[in-house]
Structure 1
Amino acid sequence: MKGPVEQLIGKPGTLAMPQDGPIVFVIDDDISVRESLELLIRHAGWQAETFESAQQFLSRPRVSVPNCLILDVRLPGLDGLELQKRVVVERPDMPIIFITGHGDVPMTVQAMKGGAVEFLTKPFNDSILLSAIRQSLQRSDAALRLGSEMQALRGRYGSLSRREQEVMGLVVRGLLNKQVGYELGISEITVKAHRGQVMRKMNAASFAELVNIAARLGLAR
């Protein structure tokens, strides 16, 4: 069953949107393009925010809801391809859809290699753009969920004492309690106690789950 965000992403057609719903950002120096895209986006049921330059957009703080960026390639100052490089690093949960009136093959290849969801040449079909937006918002939602999960895991790991972190690091590498005790200079009983605390604080129901958590945190190498 789809959750609230997934329902918003997958069900266009209503103008009434909550303030924390998905946002589609538009950067284009042509005001007529910005206005027409804003109308299209809002009619499809998403929030829209428009900007005339990359610099104006960069002053907008990051958002914590599914979002994507419709970006013109040719912009005054910082152009679309250069902005893409910054967005990939600074806002990795924000997929990009490129639009342009003067596209060429090298430009398209560069944009797609940079991770763009779509590269559309003006004038483009509204249904194709809406499909790309929907796909982008779903991708953004997944990225935000993953980021939230990783933040929670790092928080749990940070709640471990230094000794508990040491025990966890050795246990997930396959060492037995006796071997862990030898490595750390503590008794096997003490290792078991620390191991129990690690399982509880990391909210791991099994050893296999603990190993999986450690791998996600980069601890099981």
Structure 2
Amino acid sequence: MTEKPLSRGEIFVVDDDPAVRETLSVVLSAAGYRVVCFADGAALLAVARTRTPSCILLDVHIPGKSGLDVLKELHAEDYPAPIFIISGRGDIAMAVSAIKNGALDFLEKPFRGNEIVARVDEAIGAYARRKAEDSASRMESLHFPGREPLTRREREVLERFAAGASNKEAGRELGISPRTIEDHRANIMKKLGAKNAADLIRIVLTASRAS
């Protein structure tokens, strides 16, 4: 486990590849973050249970507990900091599964330093804004009888969509890439049985009147 001087906030990097840890450490440290690196999930969990970083970058394939195992043990959907999954080009299906298990989004290898910093900055900013807002979202009070329950993040995406936000605007507000917003929207429509965007809005409006 290696550490950098304290600055803008603390970021945990979990990857069994020393080169990846070093690259992310250099890039994020240069952006003003303190970076703590771990080679496996067990080491991360031992620390993440006692202190909360500003963000976690977690590789899918790590020794022992997998990235998905770590997400489940951290209860990632309710974890108080954004968690990005690090994935290779062949791991997209697994990355999507990770998002369903509470990861905010995924970062695809090979990395672009400026993109990593921008994504992390955006995600941390989005989490800070959400903490400052009333935690009781309007969507939290809506019920969709007979439908599969939406996750907290799906409700956040649905709230932005119902307010007329585009994928890009919703992604910016939530610190998520537009592509991942599209995945969430597709999952929301499937769960609520919406045939198209207009049908989804109709379902939301019906639920609003009933609540």
Corresponding residue SS for 2:90: coil
Q: How far, CA to CA, are the matches of 1:62 and 1:143 in structure 2?
A: 22
1:63 correspondence with 2:46: no
- How far residue 113 of structure 1 moved from its aligned partner, in angstroms, is 2.2
Q: How far, CA to CA, are the matches of 2:14 and 2:75 in structure 1?
A: 16
Aligned to 1:38: 25
Normalising by structure 2, what TM-score? 0.54
1:49 correspondence with 2:31: no
Match of residue 88, structure 1, among 71, 75, 82: 75
Normalising by structure 1, what TM-score? 0.51
- How far residue 145 of structure 1 moved from its aligned partner, in angstroms, is 5.0
Corresponding residue SS for 1:74: coil
- How far residue 108 of structure 1 moved from its aligned partner, in angstroms, is 2.5
Larger radius of gyration: 1
Q: 1:88 to 1:138 in 2, by over 3 A?
A: farther
Match of residue 132, structure 1, among 98, 114, 119: 119
Q: 1:87 to 1:103 in 2, by over 3 A?
A: farther
Q: Any stretches of 5+ residues in structure 2 without a counterpart?
A: 137-211
Cα deviation digits, residues 82-140 of structure 1 (max 9, x gap): 21122235961121111123533421221222333332221122222112111221234
- How far residue 43 of structure 1 moved from its aligned partner, in angstroms, is 0.2
Q: 1:100 to 1:123 in 2, by over 3 A?
A: same
Aligned to 2:14: 27
The residue type paired with residue 113 of structure 1 is: K
Corresponding residue SS for 2:123: helix
Q: How far, CA to CA, are the matches of 1:139 and 1:36 in structure 2?
A: 25
Aligned to 1:119: 106
What pairs with 1:138-149 in structure 2 (closer than 5 Å)? 138-142=125-129
Q: How far, CA to CA, are the matches of 1:27 and 1:34 in structure 2?
A: 7
Length, aligned pairs only:
133
The residue type paired with residue 26 of structure 2 is: L
Question: How large is the Cα RMSD of the aligned pairs?
Answer: 2.9
Q: 1:79 to 1:45 in 2, by over 3 A?
A: same
Aligned to 1:206: none
Q: Any stretches of 5+ residues in structure 1 without a counterpart?
A: 1-14, 151-221
